[in-house]
Amino acid sequence: MASKNTWIDGLAIEQLFTTANLPDMVKVVGMPDLHPGQGYPIGAAYFSADLIYPSLIGSDIGCGMALWQTEIPLAKLSIDKLERRIGNIDQPITRGKYNLGTIGGGNHFAELQKVSEIYDHDLFAQYQLSNKNLFLLVHSGSRGLGHAILQQHVAKFGEKGLAQASPEAQTYLEKHNNALDFAHYNRQTVAERLFDNLNTTGREILNVHHNFLERVNDEGQQGWLHRKGASPATAGLVIIPGSRGDYSYLVNPIANADLLSSLAHGAGRKWRRADCKAKLENRYSTDQMLRTKLGGRIICEDRDLVYEEAPQAYKSIDSVIESMQQAGLIQIVAQLTPVLTYKTQGGD
């Protein structure tokens, strides 16, 4: 699914066809943020009849996003003050709990945002939202737990699918569901830690997974819907973020069974991580990379990650949103602008 303005890596399309040819696969849908992954593309939904494929979900089971409206007033906004107060949440709150309360590396983040435009005032009011306060967006998953589950599975079964009625499939599903609960709670815990540091509170607007498996009925056929980097269009409001230097959009989904009731989960990568530093290091200093064209700031003590997650490495979020609008999948509720993005303060 893409408009004429949406660029998609050819390798991602090849991987999508590879996945479509897996045994028992009925339907695959590539979202406008489709990009290459480890053998299977990210930004897609996959429907199989009788087999489940843990490798399609990947190692970060339950990775997703949650959004809160905070009590931080926009009228008194001081980015300097927020940057000093936000603190360090790189360390887990307890030992032996798979890094509970931490964001993780890669493209995970916590971000304070402000409403820059309201598109649907009725829906904005219906959800009791306010453009006078900052919002907090948390993107994280099941941390070490999901990784351990996939490693255990691959060590025993490799990449092959599991018959839905088999004991092995039931064992995986039980672990998968536990990881979903952990990921959901982890995003809440991250938010609570940040609220404590910033001396504020917040009201949760949404908390959804992007990497998960569920039993569904697709056009009269029972089967298994695998989402790998895709937002569900059946769980209320969805936040679709751009890069740290681009807008995010709060949207109201319009479910479409033909597209497996799924939406894009973000902008999608344009450059591979290994290429980013070489492309940008001679053009921009680290300090320059920690400021955005929209006036936002980034907290990231990992120099390599600063470049790997650069806005230039991602597609334009507007092209992704345009694709879904043209397909009649979303109503845009509001546009949000990043103010302060937390990646890492340099902890382990």
The Cα-based distances of 191 to 103, 187, 203, 294, 303 in angstroms read: 10, 6, 10, 24, 25
How far from the centroid of its chain's Cα atoms is residue 5's Cα? 22
The SS3 of residue 316 is coil
Residue listed under structure tokens 């099941």: 142
Of 60, 136, 65, 64, the C-alpha closest to 98 is 60
Amino acid at 318: D
CA dihedral (110, 67, 141, 217) in degrees, to 10, reads: -150
The SS3 of residue 174 is helix
Instruction: Kindly give, in sequence order, each residue whose CB lies less than 8 Å from that of residue 242, ignoring residues fewer than 6 positions away.
Output: 248, 266, 267, 311, 314, 316, 317
Which residue of the set 153, 176, 184, 265 is catalytic? 265
- What's the rounded Cα separation, in Å, for the pair 130 and 126? 11
Both tokens of 152, joined, read 């255990």
- Verify whether residue 265 is a known catalytic residue: yes
* Residues annotated as catalytic (active site), given as ranges: 265
